[in-house]
Chain A
Amino acid sequence: MSTDPTDLRPDSLRSIFDRGAEGASEALSRWLGRPVRLLVSAIDHSDLSVAGDLIGPADDLVAACAMGLSGRLDGMLLLVFEDRSGLAIADFLLARPIGSTDQWGELERSAAMETANIVGCAYLNALADAIPGGQRDGLVPTPPEFRHEFAGSLLEFALMGQATEQDEVLLVRTEFVAGPELPSLRWTLLFVPGPSTATTLRALRAESP
């Protein structure tokens, strides 16, 4: 069986990322001990000049955990937390009253990175399984790295690989939905393809019915 991502059929593009979201939903629900759903909200194809606002106002401060990708898909996976929501989950994981933390200290960053690691690896494993000829060892993530950043700066950096080849950029946004027993999950999981994967996905998207 072929292992070339260009063998993906157009109508399977969205469903592949849905599979990634499903895999991540299961892993995150186990990690938090509560049901959580991840839903692919958009496959954005935008002009570079407006990309800084894709996850909200560009000068908003957000927390983000980044994982680099190599292998069959190049690019970056970013788990982005609106500040209060990210800190609330850190409180939840650390068994503290929700809202008791207002700074990203070492413990909170560690909780965020562990969450990103669990979500990211499950997402990528599900993606690898959904791609024809999928091989898990063909998608290699790096350990997550934490930053507290301007949303616009974060996206600008993540999209730099695509910007070297195109004026338009592509990324896949996944949102989180949790039950009432969890704090509001104002998080976004961003799959930011590198140049070669973006070219493949862009071509597939153009062929979509």
Chain B
Amino acid sequence: MPNASDREIRTDPGTEWISVAIGRWAIASAPTPLRTLLGSCVGVAFHDREGRLGALTHVVLPSSRGIEVDHPGKYADTAIPAVLAEIERRAGPRVRSRLTAKLAGGARMFQVATDPSGTLDIGRRNQEAIEAILSELRIPVLARDLGGNAGRRLTLDTVSGIVAIKIPGGAEYCL
């Protein structure tokens, strides 16, 4: 599957899905689904039902700390504004009022890892940062599937806005 880069938009309906890499984001028109694999990172799935448009960010860290970054998709405080700007460029400024969001990820997969820099708690900190930014932007969060100790495969259906989650060894379920 093709990988999405920071500003890449792939809308080829012949593509089975677009794979969003660690610290990147992508936008797709229906019916092309967006997919990513998550561990402690948090995926933010945006959907505009009227515009039949979806976007997915794979957020690694909560804050860029104000430093200019090469890959805005890596940080919550740069990824969300960047993806929203691209959605608005594509669908017009009024799209913001129609957008909804769903969140997944933020697992702590192993307890064994030593944690001198506090990285094991990154999932919770990512969630807090993302929720604060979305609240400020008045984008409603319709569903959350966060925490635990298992990785997740997230697939956003850009037609319906349904987010499908697959956990190793478990059945797929929907948000």
Contact = CB atoms under 8 A, between A and B. Distances in A.
A187 B97 CA distance: 50
B110 A50 contact: no
Interface stretch (A5-13, A23-31, A145-153): A145-153
A192 to B, nearest CB: 9
A131 interface: no
Interface stretch (B80-88, B127-135, B148-156): B148-156
Contact of B169 (A67, A74, A148): A148
Nearest to A70: B114
A48 interface: yes
Contacts of B152: 153
Contact of A59 (B37, B112, B117): B37
A161 interface: yes
Interface string B86-115: 000000000000000000000101111110
Q: Which of B113, B114, B119, B152 has the most CB of A within 10 A?
A: B113
Interface in B57-77: 60-61, 70-71, 74
A59 B21 contact: no
A48 B168 contact: no
B33 interface: no
B83 to A, nearest CB: 16
Nearest to A143: B112
A164 B110 contact: no
B40 A156 contact: yes
A50 B21 contact: yes
Interface string B38-49: 111100000000
A111 interface: no
Interface in A31-86: 48-52, 58-59, 61, 66-70, 74, 76
Contacts of B74: 48, 163, 167
Contacts of A68: 110, 112-114
A87 to B, nearest CB: 14
A142 interface: yes
B122 A153 contact: no
A147 B22 contact: no
A195 interface: yes
> Which 4 pairs, one residue from A and one from B, show the smallest C-beta to C-beta distance?
A153-B151, A157-B39, A152-B37, A49-B21
Interface of B: 3, 5, 19, 21-24, 37-41, 60-61, 70-71, 74, 107, 109-114, 116-117, 119-120, 122, 149-153, 168-169
